[in-house]
Chains A and B, each alone.
Chain A
Amino acid sequence: MLLLSVVFFATPLGLLLAFSFAGPTGVTLDNFAEFFGDPFNFKVLTNTMRLGFETVIGTTLLGIPIGLFYWHSGRRMRQVVVFLSLIPMLTSNVVRTFAWIVILSRQGPISQALLGLGLTGAPTSLLSTEFGLLLAMVQIDLPLIILPLVAILARTSRQLPEAAEVAGAGHWRILVTVLLPMMLPGLLAGWILVFASTSASYVTQAAIGGARNVYVPQLITRQVGVLFNWPLASAIAMVLLLSTGALLMALALISRHRRLVGHA
């Protein structure tokens, strides 16, 4: 196991690190300077982070009600919820992305519905918009937040909200003081997964975001595939790795807070 992770994970990462410092005359910081020297690149980095945050928020807003529905369901219904949330994972990311292209297009159901309701005057396409991309990302990443949530809720005692009820708490107080804190460790795990997945989902970003919405993975591909600038591509990859890594580390640290450890 350890050997495998050394061979297939640590070695490429080491190569990446080495490449990012490589210049024509030896070790240099030029690649990083070049990346940050271009304001466009910096904007792409912040866009990528923002897309990650927005997807996390979107999946959370959908995941919490689904989690609550799971919590209040009987055993049979719980199985249905788990199954339905797993279905998207059974189809490939590429297939789902192309399905979303159809849905978001000018002739797609969203456009037609808006038109039918009289909300828009002419057919509008959500393709090549950040909002359209966000919709697709939220749907694609939703299982990543639902599964850890369901895992936590499945082994949480129903007595906790009952104890709150007997103590005099109303529905909202039970939600805020008992159910959400119970869900928090699952949410944190989900946020880590969703954020990591979103900031690296090249296919969806490229196909739905289009040329107007560029994210870091596309930047890297362009350097490698079009300009053959491996050192700069490596430097960009390192920047992406460090910025998402720092965020994920922060989330992981939060989930080790004493109030959250050994929950449920």
Chain B
Amino acid sequence: MATQSGALLVDGLTHSYGGELAIQDVSFDIAPGEIVALLGPSGCGKSTVLRAIAGLIQPAQGQIMLAGKHLGGVAARERGIGMVFQNYALFPHLTVEENVAYPLACQHVPKAARKERVRELLALIQLDGFGRRLPRELSGGQQQRVAVARALAASPALLLLDEPFGALDRALRFDLQVEMLRLQKSVGITTLIVTHDQEEAQSLASRLVLMNKGHVEQIDTPSTVYDRPKTLFVNSFIGQANQLRATVVETKAESAVLKLDASGSSLTLARRLDYAVGVRIVLTCRPEQVSVHAAATATSLPARLIVSVPLGPTLVHDLELADGTQVRASQMRSGAAFVPSLGDQVHVTIDADHCHVFPVHSISPSELNKGAKL
């Protein structure tokens, strides 16, 4: 199969449904052959972006370019884009073969060539011999692969996938994700995948576009997004993050001192902080950057252990600080120096080098709830 190339550029996309803004100023790009994931909580506007690219809605503002061509006035049927819908949208009255051949029939590809292409695609998705079945006679995973084959049939320049693994059970997902990667690499098609599952996005995409409430919050590689989140939202959406309120008490060229609300104790960051003294901030840290000790140290905070859960190789502790703030810590189970038991009064220390600091106003009520649940 020929390798296709087609870069996608989305610039300043804005759209509203009946006066209600669904997406605002969404911009990102995808290099030819790259997989990018559009990641964000349900309702943040991911499908809207996808539908605008596919041509199913006309965005109020913004530009979309595919392989150097403006898609502005181009009808959906002429864009040369393959799309896998959220529930696959296979035609229930057509067989697998007829479903996969549908885009080819639309392009008036001759019967013999159509047949050959369908055979090739069914082999690619490892469903040879299933051509005569109807979609409802297939498992969820098989239906998903048929939807992918249909989307690829007419050799589109871009593949769009809307939550392609959302309807499948967890055990099946990983296998199908690996399968999807293999397929994408072998076809070499530029791919945009929409998901609200951060693990799925991280395992599939080379770059993530993080969306929240219709905005793009950050565009980076999965590891950068995890290690250097630009916003509090990204920090708590990708992986888990403890949130502690604090006040900036001292800033220097290469260090800063914070006073934590929870204990009144201070914490020194060994880096420059761009906040004025007296500003209220949110300090975040990952569970693996919180350690639990039996004895107090100079920088530790007193806490009470509420519950411990073994999770694979780690032990996850939910703790409560003196003022009621919930903190989650994880430690390796093997070789742990100290294993606290339930109800124990313990002391936690935070790895200040890996903490992130965000302004307080970036917390929204829903994120506060999320923080409280930690």
The answer to whether A166 and B54 touch across the interface, beta carbons within 8 angstroms, is yes
The answer to whether B154 and A162 touch across the interface, beta carbons within 8 angstroms, is no
A86 and B106 CA atoms in complex are apart in Å by 38
Instruction: Name the B residues within 8 Å of A173 (CB-CB).
Output: 106
Q: Mark A34-50, 1 if CB is under 8 A from B, else 0.
A: 00000000000000000
Instruction: Name the A residues within 8 Å of B106 (CB-CB).
Output: 164, 167-170, 173
The answer to whether A159 and B77 touch across the interface, beta carbons within 8 angstroms, is no
A155 and B83 CA atoms in complex are apart in Å by 22
Instruction: Name the B residues within 8 Å of A58 (CB-CB).
Output: none
> What's the nearest-Cβ distance from chain A to residue B350, in Å?
47
Q: Is A108 an interface residue (CB 8 A)?
A: no
The answer to whether B78 and A168 touch across the interface, beta carbons within 8 angstroms, is yes
> Which of chain A's residues 214-264 have a Cβ closer than 8 Å to chain B?
258-260, 262-264
A262 and B137 CA atoms in complex are apart in Å by 11
> Which of chain A's residues 176-200 have a Cβ closer than 8 Å to chain B?
177-178, 181-182, 184
A253 and B95 CA atoms in complex are apart in Å by 20
A184 and B93 CA atoms in complex are apart in Å by 10
Q: Is B55 an interface residue (CB 8 A)?
A: yes
A181 and B81 CA atoms in complex are apart in Å by 25
A260 and B91 CA atoms in complex are apart in Å by 11
A260 and B94 CA atoms in complex are apart in Å by 10
The answer to whether A163 and B77 touch across the interface, beta carbons within 8 angstroms, is no
The tally of residues in A whose CB lies under 8 Å from a CB in B reads: 24
Q: Is B92 an interface residue (CB 8 A)?
A: yes
A177 and B85 CA atoms in complex are apart in Å by 18
A259 and B81 CA atoms in complex are apart in Å by 28
The answer to whether A169 and B77 touch across the interface, beta carbons within 8 angstroms, is yes
**Identity of the chain A residue whose Cβ is nearest the Cβ of B102 in the assembled complex:** A167
A263 and B86 CA atoms in complex are apart in Å by 18
The answer to whether B134 and A258 touch across the interface, beta carbons within 8 angstroms, is yes
A262 and B86 CA atoms in complex are apart in Å by 20
**Identity of the chain A residue whose Cβ is nearest the Cβ of B98 in the assembled complex:** A177
The answer to whether B76 and A166 touch across the interface, beta carbons within 8 angstroms, is yes
Q: Is B5 an interface residue (CB 8 A)?
A: no
Contact of B93 among A163, A169, A170, A263 (CB under 8 A): A263
Q: A159-B87, A258-B134, A263-B93 are in contact. Are A166 and B56 (CB under 8 A)?
A: yes
A258 and B93 CA atoms in complex are apart in Å by 8
A260 and B93 CA atoms in complex are apart in Å by 6
The answer to whether B93 and A159 touch across the interface, beta carbons within 8 angstroms, is no
Q: Mark B73-90, 1 if CB is under 8 A from A, else 0.
A: 000111101110111011
A169 and B89 CA atoms in complex are apart in Å by 15
Instruction: Name the A residues within 8 Å of B55 (CB-CB).
Output: 166
> Which of chain B's residues 81-136 have a Cβ closer than 8 Å to chain A?
81-83, 85-87, 89-94, 102-103, 106-107, 134, 136
The answer to whether B76 and A262 touch across the interface, beta carbons within 8 angstroms, is no
The answer to whether B107 and A168 touch across the interface, beta carbons within 8 angstroms, is yes
A259 and B90 CA atoms in complex are apart in Å by 13
The answer to whether A168 and B154 touch across the interface, beta carbons within 8 angstroms, is yes
Q: Is B15 an interface residue (CB 8 A)?
A: no
Instruction: Name the B residues within 8 Å of A263 (CB-CB).
Output: 92-93
Contact of A159 among B89, B150, B153 (CB under 8 A): B89
The answer to whether A166 and B77 touch across the interface, beta carbons within 8 angstroms, is yes
Instruction: Name the B residues within 8 Å of A203 (CB-CB).
Output: none
Supply 5 A–B pairs (Cβ within 8 Å), ascending by A.
Answer: A167-B77, A167-B150, A167-B154, A168-B107, A259-B92
Interface residues of chain B, those whose CB is within 8 Å of chain A, are 54-56, 76-79, 81-83, 85-87, 89-94, 102-103, 106-107, 134, 136, 150, 153-154
